[in-house]
Amino acid sequence: MRNLLALVVVGLIVYTVIDVVRSDERERLGLHKALWVAFIVLLPVIGSVTWLLVRRTPGRRPGPGPGIRTVPQAPLAPDDDPEFLWRLEQERRRREREAGGAGPTSRTDPSDPTPPAAGPPADPADPTPTS
């Protein structure tokens, strides 16, 4: 039974030392890694339990934890970006005007510099799909 208890204490020490080494300064309450490691090694049970309590205190880490990915806010591809598609449509219309063709009429003003909120304007005469 004593061997099992010693094995649990050694495992706890190894776990907490590795956890201290991988932590950042905010999680260590501003103390240096070496101080935490010395505290854990010199006072094994007290040091390890103290570290676990400090590390796991709710509200200590405002950001996402390790392994948690945030969803990117920007579009991943140009064809997912409504503003890009709107600019592409405006460029196509500009080229048609420069080529001399009046081009299809649209309800939006091509000289309007503000992009639409919902994406590019739909052109019923254009057979190419926009998505």
50-97 pLDDT, tens digit each: 998 888 776 555 555 555 556 656 666 767 788 888 999 999 999 999
- Whether the CB-CB separation of 120 and 85 falls below 8 Å is answered with yes
Q: When comparing pLDDT for 63 and 9, which is higher? A: 9
Domain ranges of the chain: 1-24+32-56
The predicted structure's pLDDT at residue 102: 54
**What integer best gives the mean pLDDT of the chain?**
76
pTM over 0.85: no
Residue 127 has pLDDT above 70, yes or no: no
Q: When comparing pLDDT for 48 and 127, which is higher? A: 48
Alpha-carbon distance values, 42 to 9, 69, 108 (Å): 13, 37, 74
Task: Give the integer Cα–Cα distance in Å for 29 and 25.
Answer: 6
